[in-house]
Structure 1
Amino acid sequence: MTADRTLAAEGLRLGYGDRVIVDDLTLGVPGGRITAIVGANACGKSTMLKSLARLLSPRAGRVLLDGKDIHRLPTKQVARQLGLLPQSPIAPEGIAVSDLVSRGRTPHHGPLARWTTEDDAAIAHALEATDTAALADRSVDELSGGQRQRVWIAMALAQQTDVLLLDEPTTFLDVSHQIDVLDLLTDLNRSRGTTIVMVLHDLNLAARYADHLVAMAGGRLYAAGDPGDVLTADTVRAVFGLDSRVIPDPLTGRPLVLPIGRHHVPAPHDATA
């Protein structure tokens, strides 16, 4: 995986049935970096991610992988280069953790290809990296929501793609495991140069972990760029309809969003509000 791998959207229009969800969206994903997509519910984040993963055909525009229309590329070629962890994936009933994770190796096998030590190593590394090795023989059905999410991430890691798309990868996780997962993705990005694109709801985690931040509103791109430039009080108000104060994170210097609700209005004497 190198930063030479490129993924971009040009003039995308996406929808379901008669409903248009995303319209006229043009976006470049920086290769070899971490991109976080944020926005209010139903703004089109997941729909856009599906299109980037070739799961949803655009009504207009196109998605380009290394400059080529992703819908014109062979399926197995795309699967070797781009992996997706969708929202709420469903595992086959009764499948063991090790068997599910091993399915991440499918794109690397031809019809007559045999299992290799490379496959075993990829699976072992994915289980270890996600702290799920001890669960390898257990049924996925028996796991907690957080454990299940880490197993799905292990499967995506076993695929060893150059680009990894994740739709809310911290869903069902407590705060400790949220940080573990985001640290894991950062390690993957730094050690292999994997391009990470993820939808996140937590603005502060998005700002802390992303190199590139994309804010969507109403099915369109509102802003994209460095988190320090994108995540402002004006952006939070325009994208989420929420008043806030944005200050430097004392640990990272990145933007830190402090929401202002009806019951936590700044005091009149607070000149910095």
Structure 2
Amino acid sequence: MDLIPVLDLMGGQVVRAVRGQRSAYLPMQSMLCEGSDPLAMARALRRHTSSGVLYVADLDALQGGAVQHAVLRELLAGLPGLRIWLDAGFADRAAASAVLDQLDPAEAAAIDPVFASESLRDAQALAACFAPEVVTRDAIGARAILSLDRRDGQRLDAAGCWERPDAWPQRVIVMTLERVGAQAGPDLDTLAALRLRSPHTQFIGAGGVRDAADLRHAAAAGAQAWLVASALHDGRLAASDASASRERGAAG
């Protein structure tokens, strides 16, 4: 299982996400590096986890503002070989294309767009992102990821994503927002229920991982990867834990 470090960006700096309550997010304070500069934080996360992937939540864009293109360019220039999974509040495929078109081709090719159920406009938008013909004909469709978002037991899902496993892509994030930064443990029950509905989907968990034991339980539950921030910054997950999670995934 892979451990995917997370950067939550707001106003050009990294913030600490807690329970999805975005208006209350504060600049990140981390044991891995000083300050909340995105590139410095991303370098520290890469050193700590050896991950070649970084999940970036652009909270400005998610709240209706402009995408932080300058930060994306800085991250890609400063960390050669990095892949970014970008959640920037894409309402549909055209919105993702518009963001990537403002980057140069090499930068755009390093970004996998995340279409979140909290942001997708409607069922037509869902189909246009992940229909088989879309996936086979263009790069965005081939590498796009779906995020199934939930807060406090309520699905954030105007497009009906949760009830359309036939429309899911190969990779699906299970985002339990009330557990993000809350040290509440991962939501493995929801993961297990979704795996029963779509056994061949690669599920990536998000929210709740506190320590190495949680990673082990998530791997045993069938997660292909888990998005993690707070446990890394607080020193509750060591570099050896990240390496061990990858080894377990390879062995499985």
Normalising by the smaller structure, the TM-score range is: 0.3 to 0.5
Q: Which has the larger radius of gyration?
A: 1
TM-score, scaled relative to structure 1 = 0.36
Greater relative contact order (CA < 8 Å, ≥ 6 in sequence): 1
Structure having the larger proportion of residues in helix: 2
